[in-house]
């Protein structure tokens, strides 16, 4: 069977599968022999378990899936008050028996025309957002946090074909950490741009993103870089996040090995430009997977600074579970290597209800209207899929 027809056949089969952006295109994982649904009781056992592989390492000797936001909070001892929940799993990992490399362009033909609901409801209107924003500004002035991210959700009720959505999203807004999961009663479609962990042997890196600028015909990458460098608010936000990610890496890396490899560069996407840095380090001896996850997750660039106190402020303010949003998707290989992103720019479709969660950073120089509008900019590429 030709690879260009493989996605059509796989979608028709109703078998669960995962697609993850790779350097050479996309990796497709399927024929899962194991599905591990994570919760607060089994997460430690999952991360501490050692998987054996035979003399020759196979490309399917790994577990691939996601950690939800609430699960990661519990893992590092941050309690979450009772919130509205859709009872979506806190995390799921799969053991694939088949891995196929797909070309850069995903080819898939939708068999039937979808009847898509185009209307979304936002869970926080501008007035409510402004009240939360002003409350957090007081927390910043009192020194309880230096930066904090307010999450808003766009929701609608609609059955979707996740593969069609992901293929179209990849054509219009391909991101380096894009992925999709299709399972029996849920799907996740993501154009996440942010890598949180890349570990190969003792080498580890993270790529924090802090700074967003909407695109228009008058702005190019050079002008975007100039905007960020000359914007006090964006510079403060970026510097704080980079410092926090360096501190997170320093907890698990050899002294003096943590370096800022790329500082404040521009990455371009469909509707926006991002301000990005790259931090690298060398792991200490005897560092385990659970140590890495606890040190790095949830990713600081989508939470705020300092991490623990800011998480506590967020969790007492937000009334709904974040579910996958600001959790992490990726894989852990049986040899210990891993790659994880931060789950942002994503659609969670669960029981035919879609939710798109976004957040923007609040620092002392922020303005409520600008941050509220920035959230919509971040959600737009996903909302456009429903039109």
pLDDT tens digits, residue range 121-175?
999 999 999 999 999 999 999 989 988 888 999 999 988 999 999 999 988 888 8
Mean pLDDT of 248-253: 97
The whole-angstrom distance between residue 139's C-alpha and the CA centroid of its chain comes to 26
Percent of the chain with pLDDT over 70: 97
Per-residue model confidence (pLDDT) at position 55: 66
> How many structural domains comprise the chain?
1
In contact, 19 and 188? CB cutoff 8 Å = no
- Angle formed by the axes of helices 221-229 and 232-250, nearest 10°: 80
Give the dihedral of Cα atoms 387, 347, 381, 108; nearest 10 deg: -70
Is the pLDDT assigned to residue 2 strictly greater than 70? no
What's the rounded Cα separation, in Å, for the pair 379 and 265?
22
What are the DSSP calls for 369-384, one per residue? HHHHHHHHHHHHHHHG
What's the rounded Cα separation, in Å, for the pair 205 and 218?
34
Residue 360 pLDDT class (50, 70, 90 cuts): confident
Q: Which of 262, 368, 361 is nearest to 304 (CA)?
A: 361
Is the pLDDT assigned to residue 113 strictly greater than 70? no
Retrieve residue 246's tokens.
Answer: 């360096």
Q: Tell me the backbone φ, ψ of residue 281, rounded to 5 degrees.
A: -165, 170
Is the pLDDT assigned to residue 3 strictly greater than 50? no
Question: Range of 192's domain?
Answer: 3-386
Is the pLDDT assigned to residue 53 strictly greater than 80? no
Q: What CATH number should be reported for the domain holding residue 99?
A: 3.60.120.10
Per-residue model confidence (pLDDT) at position 269: 83
Bridge partner residues of 331 (DSSP): 64, 339
What's the rounded Cα separation, in Å, for the pair 216 and 136?
31
């Amino acid at each position: 069977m030709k690879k260009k027809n493989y996605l059509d056949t796989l979608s028709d089969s109703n078998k669960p599968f995962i697609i993850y952006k790779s350097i050479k295109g996309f990796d497709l994982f399927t024929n899962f022999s194991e599905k591990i649904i994570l919760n607060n009781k089994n997460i430690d056992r999952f991360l501490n378990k050692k998987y054996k592989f035979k003399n020759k390492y196979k490309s399917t000797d790994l577990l691939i899936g996601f950690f939800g936001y609430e699960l990661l909070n519990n893992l590092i001892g941050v309690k979450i008050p009772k919130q509205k929940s859709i009872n979506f799993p806190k995390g799921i990992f799969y053991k694939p028996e088949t891995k196929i490399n797909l070309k850069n362009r995903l080819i898939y033909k939708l068999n039937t025309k979808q009847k898509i609901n185009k209307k979304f409801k936002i869970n926080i209107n501008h007035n409510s957002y402004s009240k939360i924003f002003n409350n957090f500004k007081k927390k910043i002035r009192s020194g309880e946090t230096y930066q904090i991210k307010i999450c808003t959700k766009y929701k609608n009720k609609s059955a979707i074909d996740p593969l069609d959505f992901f293929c179209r999203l990849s054509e219009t807004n391909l991101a380096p950490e894009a992925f999709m999961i299709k399972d029996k009663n849920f799907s996740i479609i993501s154009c996440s741009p942010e890598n949180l962990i890349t570990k190969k042997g003792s080498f580890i890196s993270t790529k924090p993103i802090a700074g967003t600028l909407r695109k228009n015909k008058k702005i190019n990458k050079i002008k975007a870089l100039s905007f960020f460098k000359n914007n006090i608010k964006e510079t403060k936000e970026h510097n704080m996040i980079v410092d926090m990610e360096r501190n997170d890496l320093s907890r698990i890396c050899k002294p003096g090995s943590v370096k800022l490899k790329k500082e404040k560069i521009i990455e371009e996407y469909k509707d926006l430009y991002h301000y990005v840095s790259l931090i690298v380090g060398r792991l200490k001896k005897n560092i385990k997977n659970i140590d890495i996850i606890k040190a790095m997750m949830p990713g600081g660039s989508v939470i705020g600074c300092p991490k623990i106190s800011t998480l506590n402020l967020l969790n007492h303010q937000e009334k709904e579970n974040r579910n996958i949003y600001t959790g992490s998707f990726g894989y852990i290989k049986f040899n210990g290597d891993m790659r994880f992103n931060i789950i942002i720019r994503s659609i969670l479709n669960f029981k035919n209800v879609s939710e798109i969660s976004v957040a923007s950073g609040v620092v002392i120089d922020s303005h409520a209207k600008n941050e509220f509008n920035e959230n919509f900019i971040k959600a737009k590429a996903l909302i456009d899929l429903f039109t």
